[in-house]
Amino acid sequence: MKITYFGHSCLYVEQDGKRVIIDPFLSGNPQSGVSPQEIEVDAVLLTHGHDDHFGDTIEIAKRNGCPVVAVFELAMYCAKEGVQAHGMNIGGAYNFDGFRVKFTQAFHGNSYRVGDQYLYAGQPAGILLTMGGTTLYHAGDTSLFSDMKMIGDMNDIAVAALPIGDNFTMGPEDAAVAAQWLNAKRVIPVHYDTFPPIRQDAQRFASMLEERGIVCHVLKSKESVTI
């Protein structure tokens, strides 16, 4: 599994010729350095509908003719925008061609914006993505929650993408506990430094994980790790 970070919470994941993108907030994020026109994928996966995750979903899905996989209410919004949508919900899994997706709970808000209104988009989620026998857990935006222990018990998590920005999500201390509870072998910190309230020292987080025997990959946008 090859994972490329495109800034904020966006990961591009490749395995055996299949490619998916999670939370493609690209054109609105000057730190991503990637334009949505460059993205070639077989699916767009969304943890929730906030602008800093939904990003360029519609454009990417339309151009690639690929589905958007999201919690039902958010998927129905995407369908209204004229893209293929595959609705799911928390606890549900589905085998797509070349990858499996299971939605987990996340403690956060969820809405999609139409003009200046924020409309209901179902529950926010985390994503367990399995490709070629390797499982990545993208926690989405969430607080620390004790069922991360259950997620860790029930899944062999090769790599976890965990938010460390604080303010809207877990901060570094809670994310380090999450990594332990998830029994994650490796961690990619996400959701930090994009905006002033979520500035963090990712290297300090990496040392906290090293003390716990967990490998931390602090990636700049467009950097990859192959596991």
Binding residues for Mn ion (CB under 5 A) = 52, 141
Of Ni ion, Mn ion, none, which one sits near residue 174, judging by CB under 5 to 8 A according to partner kind?
none
- Token pair, residue 40, equals 């070639």
Please identify, among the stretches 27-35, 45-53, 157-165, 184-192, the one whose residues bind Ni ion according to the rule CB under 5 A. 45-53
Our CB check for Ni ion shows the closer of 77 and 99 to be: 77
Our CB check for Ni ion shows the closer of 64 and 110 to be: 110
CB of 191 to Mn ion, least distance (A): 6
Residue 67: φ, ψ to 5°: -75, 155
CB of 111 to Ni ion, least distance (A): 9
Beta bridge partners of 139: none
Our CB check for Ni ion shows the closer of 72 and 118 to be: 118
CB of 53 to Mn ion, least distance (A): 6
- CA distances, 154 to each of 102, 106, 107, 116, 203 (Å): 12, 17, 19, 41, 29
CB of 50 to Ni ion, least distance (A): 4
Of Ni ion, Mn ion, none, which one sits near residue 42, judging by CB under 5 to 8 A according to partner kind?
none
CA distance 43 to 84: 10
- Token pair, residue 172, equals 């570094």
Residue 181: φ, ψ to 5°: -60, -35
CB of 97 to Ni ion, least distance (A): 29
Asked whether the beta carbons of 213 and 186 are under 8 A apart, the reply is no
Our CB check for Mn ion shows the closer of 52 and 59 to be: 52
CB of 77 to Mn ion, least distance (A): 17
Our CB check for Mn ion shows the closer of 21 and 131 to be: 21
Phi-psi region of 7 (alpha: psi -120 to 50; beta: other; left: phi over 0): left
Sketch the per residue contact string, 112 through 151, with Ni ion: x for CB under 5 A, - otherwise: -----------------------------x----------
User: Using the rule CB under 5 A, is 50 a contact of Ni ion?
Assistant: yes
**Helix 57-64 vs helix 72-80: crossing angle, to nearest 10:** 70
Say which residues have a Cβ less than 8 Å from residue 162's Cβ, sequence separation at least 6.
139, 170, 175, 178, 179, 187, 188, 189, 190
User: Using the rule CB under 5 A, is 166 a contact of Ni ion?
Assistant: no
Our CB check for Ni ion shows the closer of 56 and 141 to be: 141
Residue 166: φ, ψ to 5°: 65, -175
Write out the residues near Ni ion by the rule CB under 5 A. Answer: 50, 141
